Structure 1
Amino acid sequence: MTDDTRSRLTDLEIRLAHHERMAEDMSEVMAQQQDEITRLNLMVRRLVDRLQNVEAGGERSPQDDRPPPHY
C-alpha cells in the first residue's frame, strides 16, 4: 500500500468517525425533541379539555349561586 493510499484511507476513516458521531448526536437530539413534542401534545390536549369544559358551562362552585354583595 502506498503512502498516498494510506493517507486517503486514514482521511476516510476520520471522516467516517465524524459522521458516526454526528449521526449519534442527531439521534439523541431527535429523541429529546420527540419527548418534548409528546409533552406539549399532552399539555394542548389538557388545555383543550379545560376550554371545552369552560365553554360548556364548566363546573359551578357554591359561590356562583350566591347573590351579588349589593343585594
Structure 2
Amino acid sequence: MEDRIEQRLIDLEIKASYAEDMIDRLNEVVVRQQAQLETLARELTGLRQRTQDSTGAAPRSLREELPPHY
C-alpha cells in the first residue's frame, strides 16, 4: 500500500514538473509574440503616417484608383 502511494506521489511530481516546463515554454512564446505585435504596431503606425504624408490630408477617391482600361 505504501509503495502504491509513493509511486502515485512520484507520478504527480513528474507531471507537475512537465507542466511547469510547459508553462515556462508557453510564457516564452507569449513574450516573443508580444514583442512581435509591438513591432508590427509601430510599423503599421509608420506606414499610416507615410501614407497620410504622401497623399495629403484629403482622402483619395476610388475612381482615381481605377485601372486605365475602365
Percent sequence identity is 32
Task: Tell me the residue number matched to 2:22.
Answer: 22
Alpha-carbon distance in structure 2 between the residues aligned to 1:6 and 1:41: 52
Task: Tell me the residue number matched to 1:64.
Answer: none
Alpha-carbon distance in structure 2 between the residues aligned to 1:54 and 1:28: 39
Alpha-carbon distance in structure 1 between the residues aligned to 2:52 and 2:39: 20
Alpha-carbon distance in structure 1 between the residues aligned to 2:29 and 2:5: 36
Based on CA coordinates, which of the two structures has the bigger radius of gyration? 1
Does 2:13 align with 1:13? yes
Which runs of 4 or more aligned residues in structure 1 lie more than 6 Å from their structure 2 counterparts after TM superposition?
Answer: none
Aligned-residue CA RMSD in angstroms? 1.4
Task: Tell me the residue number matched to 1:2.
Answer: 2
The alpha-carbon deviation at position 21 of structure 1 amounts to 0.3
The alpha-carbon deviation at position 54 of structure 1 amounts to 1.2
Alpha-carbon distance in structure 2 between the residues aligned to 1:34 and 1:12: 32
Task: Tell me the residue number matched to 1:48.
Answer: 48
Q: Which runs of 5+ in 1 are unaligned?
A: 58-71
